[in-house]
Chain A
Amino acid sequence: CWLMVVRKWEVFPGRNRFYCDGRIIVARQCGVLPLTLGLIVVTSVLFFIFDCPFLVTHLTICIPVVAGVLFLFVVITLLQTSFTDPGILPRALPEEVTNTERQIDNSGSVTYRPPPRTKEIIINGEVVKLKYCFTCKMFRPPRTSHCSLCDNCVERFDHHCPWVGNCVGKRNYRFFYTFIVSLSFLTSFILGCVITHLTLRSQGDKGFLQALQESPLVVCFFSIWSTLGLSGFHTYLVASNLTTNEDIKGSWSTKRGEESGNPYSYNGIFRNCCAVLCGPMPPSLIDRRGFLPPDVIPRTVASGSELHPFMAKNDTNMVRVFASAPSFLHPRYPKINI
């Protein structure tokens, strides 16, 4: 193929990194994701090596089976939370921006300092302010927030989690919730099993091996409070159909402890849980692996180092001609003067 093919992820404006030709998306700062993964894997492996043989012989074979299933759940959901597009909204195209700005100018006042750009709408009887995002150049839909770390507007923005190295939003919230719940179960399970092991075992020699066998206990003991606490907090959020962002800002709390002002709630714990966790899975809006239309391929990509394998690397003139060839060849476009 002689045409320059550029996938949309290659020109994505946000602060994200892409792997496997756009299939995997992560935030540029991966945070402490390697640490999270490392802690989980090392603790579980130590548990399997040192505690499981004893417990299998003295109790039941179900213990490593349950631990294995939980471990798989935790790792898979963690990777899915980290590598899934959280619900990034693509930035507005130039014509849309001009249209929006024209509408703002028409309705706003003519002062030297432009007024803050907000739009008020009514959702289910509550007044909601939609803010204009200066980076993405659009009015943010309700519950959308701009993540400064990833430089993207994310739908139903919950928070940016450094432990998973990604934002948590509409598309990956259920993965995140499953991750923290299964992690709580795994941590509690390992803690319980290790305590059982240590109490059942006859007194042995203290030494390095003993310390190593007790390390899952230590890790689990310290992490169980945070994982259980986080799971509990997010269960409350799911049941009230709130995001961490809204809860922290106190967007809907009218009186102390009363959340009746939330216009997105279905007014029922079960219904809220089903809506948040079992609702339909929306698609990714950024279309990472889609192809850019040939006439909008930026020059920096066309003449830069990102060349299609069929292109000659040392002939930039040829590259420029080929990059614009589809435009040139389209019957509507004028001929190129060379």
Chain B
Amino acid sequence: MVKPLVTAASTLASAFLPLSLCRCPTGKDDFSTGIDPPPSLGNMATEFHNLQDLRHTATLATKVFIQRDYRDGTVCKFQTKFPEELDNRIERALFEDTIKTLNNYYAEAEKISGQSYLEGCLACASAYIIFLCMETRYEKVLRKISMYIQEQNEKIYAPRGLLITDPVERGMRVIEISIFDDRISSGSSSSGSSVSSGSAR
């Protein structure tokens, strides 16, 4: 009785799977309320499919975490120190370039400039109601960052068996880089770049 049910579920779910996992943001993507799943989630699934195409039997080997650099205060900035696990995986220059670009994006988002003063004063005058209606500059930059990370993953990291996770999904604490093994795995369960799940339930 269960088998036909499962077959039915498989056909239905395969139709709906792209919708629930790979939904791309349409229009305003609100990070704070999460109306749509974060774009990286859908992109990660897409990225995983790309990784699959490139490395058909890729399995997750390990993850490297790039920590925050607090020397300049609480501004969002990541360390550019090259982790040794990536030594034979990617060129130093490419890696540092990615991190530096990300740091520049975050600096732009958190910059206290004339525009942010104006935004702040207007918001205060409206009793901060405009935060409910408008997308803030920070959110706009976060979207740019997300697209940049997707582009970097597609062009540079996926071909080398690596995957960068958007730091906003890790509480802006770390940049998580998943390292995929390109050895053939024999029947063992494999997982995506998120939390490694169990095998058969």
Contacts and interface: CB of A to CB of B under 8 A. Distances in A.
B200 A335 contact: yes
21 contacts: A1-B16, A1-B19, A3-B17, A90-B171, A99-B65, A124-B73, A141-B70, A141-B173, A156-B74, A174-B124, A274-B117, A278-B120, A280-B116, A283-B138, A288-B34, A295-B192, A320-B201, A329-B13, A332-B52, A336-B201, A338-B6
Given A76-B127, A290-B37, A338-B3, A95 B112 contact: no
B72 A124 contact: yes
Contacts of B52: 331-332
Contacts of B17: 3, 326, 329-330
Given A141-B70, A280-B112, A77 B168 contact: no
Interface in A286-338: 286-291, 293-296, 317-318, 320-322, 324-338
Contacts of B21: 293-294, 326
Interface in B118-147: 119-121, 123-124, 127-129, 131, 136-139, 142
Contacts of A1: 16, 19-20
A332 B138 contact: no
Nearest to B121: A278
Contacts of B3: 338
Interface of B: 2-3, 5-6, 9-10, 12-14, 16-17, 19-21, 31-35, 37-38, 41, 48, 52, 63, 65, 68, 70-74, 109-112, 116-117, 119-121, 123-124, 127-129, 131, 136-139, 142, 168-174, 176, 187, 189-192, 194-195, 197, 199-201
Contact of A3 (B20, B109, B195): B20
B128 A77 contact: yes
A73 B124 CA distance: 10
Q: Sort chain A's interface into a size bin.
A: 35 or more
Contact of B74 (A90, A141, A283): A141
Given A123-B70, A142-B73, A332-B52, A296 B197 contact: yes
Nearest to B8: A2
B201 A324 contact: yes
A5 interface: yes
Contact of A290 (B34, B120, B128, B142): B34
A325 B143 CA distance: 31
A17 interface: no
B170 A93 contact: yes
Given A124-B73, A291-B20, A285 B172 contact: yes
Contacts of A158: none
Contact of A279 (B20, B65, B112, B127): B112
Contact of A123 (B72, B138, B190): B72
Given A96-B173, A122-B71, A281-B138, 4 more contacts: A3-B20, A95-B176, A289-B35, A293-B194
B191 to A, nearest CB: 7
Contacts of A143: 74
A123 B123 CA distance: 31
B170 A284 contact: no
A214 to B, nearest CB: 30
Contact of B194 (A2, A289, A296): A296
A1 B19 CA distance: 9
A85 interface: yes
A143 B68 CA distance: 14
B12 to A, nearest CB: 5
A200 interface: no
A336 B200 contact: yes
Interface in A207-232: none
A325 B201 CA distance: 10
Contacts of A68: none
A68 to B, nearest CB: 13
A322 B34 contact: no
A63 to B, nearest CB: 20
Interface string A136-163: 0010011100000000000110000000
A321 B5 CA distance: 9
A295 B34 contact: no
Given A281-B136, A281-B138, A96 B121 contact: no
A333 B16 CA distance: 17
A213 B95 CA distance: 70
